[in-house]
Copies of this chain bind each other. A is one copy, B any other.
Amino acid sequence: MTKPQYLTGDNAAINEFIDRFDVFLLDCDGVIWTGDHVFDGVPETLEFLRSRGKKVVFVTNNSTKSRQEYVKKFTGLGIQSNAEEIFGSAYSSAIYISRILKLHPFKNKVFVIGEAGIEEELRSENVPFIGGTDPAFRRDITPEDFEGIADGSLLEPDVGCVLTGLDFHINYLKLSHALQYLRRGAVFLATNTDSTFPMAHNFFPGAGSIGKPLAYMMNQQPVALGKPGKAMMDAIEGKFELDRARTCMVGDRLNTDIKFGIEGKLGGTLAVLTGVSKPADWEAKDAVAVPAFYVDKLSDLGAFAQGGAQET
């Protein structure tokens, strides 16, 4: 493995780095913000990249929010954005189903385990679905359910895909339906494989955990549409028709963001030190991934453009 190039404070190197890419895929938590706190200088840095003609795309594994809901969050935090710049795992799943999976017209319905964000994105791609937030599935299983699920009379024949995401209303009824669809040959997808979900300065069950009972019963892992899965990169490419060689992934985590960029065969990866991973992590012998470049913080990219405060 080659050592990553450290860019902070080196204007020439930063300039050269920026010139190498047309598109920057940016992780959010640990890069743009932490919790509800936006890192200093980040909004200006994003503007600076746009002013240099770069496309920025925010790539997040959170499946509970639609792109429109993300735009609201960005606006509330003082960051300019539009829905076209946002690529969450719910949208990634919708794109994958509609543009890559190409289900048979008689088997094109999706059984959803997840929240409204997934439903909104499936609708945006005209993908028919059942389950999700439908109150009919937010209840205890009954003896009639057991019979009707077992004999198939309560199942819809045109379901060809089960999509699991973070679902705060997960229950036995939904899992039972999903199991039968999978046993009948439905494609098994997951918005992402994150085991936990950060909330209130602690950890709660994540999208990856919600799908684990099904993976165990089927002895099969779902295709995951979040980082670091290749299917998400395919979905991003399918949407933006980008040149992977001139695209750079920016993130704070080696095992999701940097791995995602490397396995997705992008032209570059940039690590920031404002989140989870530190230089010791990629210097370790068994490092999960090594970035091509790194900076202390995202705003180091734009600092010299705003007066060169960090020039040496």
Contact = CB atoms under 8 A, between A and B. Distances in A.
Which of A170, A195, A217 neighbours the largest number of chain B CB atoms within 10 Å of its CB? A217
A167 interface: yes
Interface string A146-157: 110111000000
A201 B199 CA distance: 41
Interface string A188-215: 0000000110011111111011101111
Contact of A151 (B147, B169, B200, B206): B200
A169 B169 contact: no
A106 interface: no
A199 B144 CA distance: 12
A146 B217 contact: no
Oligomeric state, in copies: 2
A68 interface: no
A141 interface: yes
Contacts of A216: 195, 208-209, 212
A208 B215 CA distance: 12
Contact of A169 (B172, B176, B179, B214): B172
Interface of A: 140-141, 146-147, 149-151, 167-172, 175-176, 179-180, 183, 195-196, 199-206, 208-210, 212-217, 219
